[in-house]
A and B are shown apart, each in its own frame.
Chain A
Amino acid sequence: MATLAAPACATAPASTQSGLWSWIATTDHKRIGTLYLWTALAFFLIGGLEAALIRTQLARPNMGFVSAETYNQLFTMHGTTMVFLAVMPLSAAFFNYLIPLQIGARDVAFPRLNAFSYWVYLLGGIFITLPILFQVAPDGGWFGYAPLTTNQFSSGPNIDFWVIGLQILGVSSLAAAFNFITTIINLRAPGMTLMRMPMFTWMSFVVQFLLILAFPPITVALVFLLMDRFFGTTFYAIAQGADPLLWQHLFWVFGHPEVYILILPAFGLVSEVLPTFSKKPLFGYNVMVYSGIMIGFLGFGVWAHHMFAVGMGAVADSIFSLMTMLIAIPTGVKIFNWIATMWAGEVRFTVPMKFAIALIAMFTIGGISGVMHSSPPADLQQTDSYFVVAHFHYVLFGGSIMGIFAGIYHYYPKITGRFLNERLGNVHFWLNFIGMNLTFFPMHFSGLLGMPRRIYTYDAGQGWDLFNLLATYGTYLLVIATAVFVWNFVRSRTRGAIAGGDPWGAATLEWSIPSPPPEYNFAQIPTVTSRYPLWDLKDPSWHEGEDSHGDTGTPGPSPLREETETHTAKALGIPMPYPTAKPAFAALGLVVMFSGLLFLRNDLFAVAMTVTLGGAAMLIGGLYAWLTSPLE
């Protein structure tokens, strides 16, 4: 098949900006996406390191590698880091980088708000991560159940960092979600109807709605906790008549949609990878869209399955059990459609393809153990045991992380203009795949043998020893695998093979422009007439005899005008947003404002007020300067 005449360039033609300040002041969605990618990978390494320490402590019975207190901080920060600082922002890196490219836009709807989201994330991430270096990290689990996390049971500053940190990170996620909703609705290129959008953009679209609806309940739950801790309210004070289930319900109203926030972007990524390397359109595109929407919608109706053990009564148990079984259907549909996409395709087993296939297999295992939990009597046996740990690591590591790695290998050439090394990639994949299964599969057994979660050590002779040792070895394999990946990731930036605009023979708009893309993305905004514009371009008859793929026909024969794409925005007369550090300044103000609360713990009321009001002044001043200055 003829390849598109794409220039083989490895550096952005219009990349005139460099230096630290250009990154702080950037409003380019691609640079912000790159910042998200690097930052989130750094947090992924920190979260992984915490996991390695946890597994070292659990390698053998009665180990004294870390203290019980440190262990609590480690598992809390492992979960918090992986969920809020690694997987969500890795997804956000792809939202930022890919959504405008996939819909044929020059940037997101609000470029400066986008920068603000990133800086709030970075500063919030640092805020919540630093305390572990001083042994005062949050220690109440990533779900922070109150009343455990109230002053009565957690009187130190540990939980303060968690409550305030999550509040800060919520601002980042919400701001980004409003931005992407607007971008996807309103910045699509001519002809890019909703039912022609690439599947990654579709799944991202669903996720943004989950974000704007799931974050308010946890914001409220955190405000209650914050007020209980700092201002003596009684939301979680059992002695005053408070209900111990209030936190759990509010948290899981957020927590279960959060699960889909973590997995749907990965689903989107593999839905881009599988058609590309099977040389076939995605099987059942419409059904994939509807099942994604269905998962998002039903995701708000299953939260209490996390709480079967608290005894909600037969009616509530039955409803949530039924809803949980129901949500497995659209998820199962996706699995079958991915398999059918590969069926009879010209499958190329590249590294991204291997990660995508691994997602299908591993997520299915995690999905099936998930359906086991949907039955309350079975759940009562499994809840709070290592079986549950095995389950959610199969969906989060086997699902989200595998999908994100598929995305990184797939899109690295687009982002950097160079391939990741395929041989190192294969080593990474196999070590990762074996390591993951060696770590988490034995946990099914230790869990069913009764090993509870969150214990810092255990006695010998309960049948758990072998499974724990295997899991620890598996974790060490994962550490090696990740080191190989990091080496590959860093080294390929300068030494990877040069990739053209469309190195994989993919079909969607982001591959029609050079790699890395110029700052304005598209010299001319394309007009789209089908779901697979680049395949149409290369071989107009490629899908004859198949269904129409949303193709409405009768497009004009106007090929891409590649020659213009190596000019600067200025030469082409395309207005670009000014670089500005005002969003970063406002983000700093927000974080300073929240951190003032920390001083209340030591009754430093004047200091707290000064810091909080100072931060608020920075935030308002930054916002004012930002809103009154022109965008471009």
Chain B
Amino acid sequence: MKDFAPPAEALRPPTVSEARLLSVLDTAADGIIVIDEHARILIFNKACETMFGLSAAEAVGQNVKLVMPTQYARDHDAYVGSYISTGVKKIIGIGREVQGLHADGTVFPLELSVGEAATPDGRQFIGILRDLRPRKESEQRLADLQSELVHLARVSAIDEMGAAIAHELNQPLTALMLYLQAIRRAHSRGVDIVTVLGDILDKAAGEAERAGHIIQRMRQFVEKRDPERHVRPLDPLIDEAIDLTLLGQRHRIRIDRQPGVDLPPVSVDPVQIQQIVVNLVRNAIEAAAGVADPAIRIRTRASESSVVLEVQDNGPGIAPEALPKLFEAFASSKRRGMGLGLAISRTIAQNHGGDLLVDPGGNGSGACFSLVLPAAAMPDEVG
């Protein structure tokens, strides 16, 4: 009891209602601090003792700045003073995320809601505090898991494209080996190839470089990295992703690429956006594979404050019964793959403040997927 009572009244036994109040305060899972008009701590409950590593005896009577990091502490008196003189509420009745200072110097996030009471002893402010660390930790864990899953889907896409990529690598390797065999042959037969040797070696080196580029492009795509944001024009990212998707494709598809004019940049994780493009283009190629003249239209355009990428195929469209589960994970109608592509793509789009939409087509027109991303407001705002 002495823990909560103002020092001046420490010797007076509490009344029944006071005792009840004190017991309620002690039982509360949230931290509760009551201060007076001068920001002096009147009440500091048990949850606060744990939260800040201070006993009530140490806290009561002190300015509440005691449990605030320097930045907040500096401004707090001014806030209280400003409210008392102007009556403009900055936090009272609103609640917000602030930072607390533990006795050991740790600064941690807190959710703070403040109420106000007029008492015979003057105006008092009641703060209810919740340590946000457990919530932040679970949010972080969720974000980590999601990023793992996004990466997993990317690795899976490359895995599914493995045979095609092996074929694509085989071309420069074949050429490289033939150039080397030609030199070897001429050399072992004593043929004078001095005049053309430099040219052949240049070509051989060019082929080795080509193989290196393919591996580099793949590696950039599958490498595990933390999510990031960069302000970038969208079209070059899309073109790179199309190149990656078409690695080792067996040609017979027409790609009609229509880049946008004067598109604003977007603030994106470039690899994640390319992951969406790879997924959409692969799906489109697959959807159009059965028609006589398979073709895909890939268009970018500005729309109000967004940038839109459309991937339209000329396949049969999406069956109405497949539509409700289209964006669900593991609901793929395909034999290969994990069925994560569209689910992950939509998650990525939404994490970017955008969305992934579909026009299912049918009746002679193919499906059209639209990736909508908000235009970046200021190119130098995010880095």
A, B assembled together: no
A residues neighboring B (CB under 8 Å): none
B residues neighboring A (CB under 8 Å): none
